Amino acid sequence: MSPPPRARRPASPRKPPRQQRSRETVRAILEAAARIFEERGVEEATTDRIAEHAGVSIGSLYQYFPGKEAILATLARCHLLAGWEALAPALAALDAAPPPAAALPPLVRALVSFHEGRARLHRTLFVEGALDPELVRVLAAARAEACARIVRWLAARPEIDVPDPALSARLLFDAALALVHGFALDPSAGGTPADREREIVRLLTGYLSPAPSAAR
């Protein structure tokens, strides 16, 4: 769920799998590709190697994907959908207007847990690989939806006084994403996932806390 460094021409699957056997074949191809991308990177992940690891013929792979970039694009879409599903409950909980101490930890926890799961794959998809324009639009729409929910939450909490809720929502969301991505892409940065979650929440809570002069 990170902003892409660059865009590329669209890369789409040849046809969607409609039967159970076809879906299983595509699932095997995608999982094999994900493992190879994680272990070897984009350059060494050839379609021949992916087909071999998936246990399918190269002809079967080409029935569904015209090449490696189409597999990358499909994995990125699946990864983005999984990330949104992980974050959705915490975003939906904002509709009840909980205080920051109750609202922020689930949001950050969802982001940390998701990105810690397959950090190397995330790096391959969103750093080493370039995203197709359609996925760039999907990423932008997901961010806009998340920020809209945060804006409504900010407006519902009287103790949170920010001059521009839309700007503050974007700052909160992008700051959380940037910090989580940074730790996921560089595990040597220090701290356990729980430590990182706690400190990110502390930072965001501080941003929303009233300035000392305003509190008096």
**End-to-end Cα, the chain, rounded Å:** 40
Q: Which of 1-5, 151-155, 163-167 shows the lowest mean pLDDT across its residues?
A: 1-5
Q: Which of 33-37, 73-77, 80-84, 115-119 shows the lowest mean pLDDT across its residues?
A: 115-119
So what's the pLDDT on residue 107? 95
State yes or no: pLDDT of 164 exceeds 60: yes
DSSP 118: T
In angstroms, rounded to a whole number, what is the distance separating the alpha carbons of residues 133 and 151? 27
Model pTM score: 0.76
Provide the β-strand partners of residue 131. 7
So what's the pLDDT on residue 138? 82
Q: Which residues contact 140 (CB under 8 A, 6 or more apart)?
A: none
Lookup: tokens for 59 = 């002809």
The CATH architecture assigned to 75-210 reads Orthogonal Bundle (1.10)
Domain spans in the chain, listed from the N-terminal domain onward: 75-210
Q: How many CB atoms lie within 10 A of CB 15?
A: 11
Q: Which of 1-15, 136-150, 187-201 shows the lowest mean pLDDT across its residues?
A: 1-15
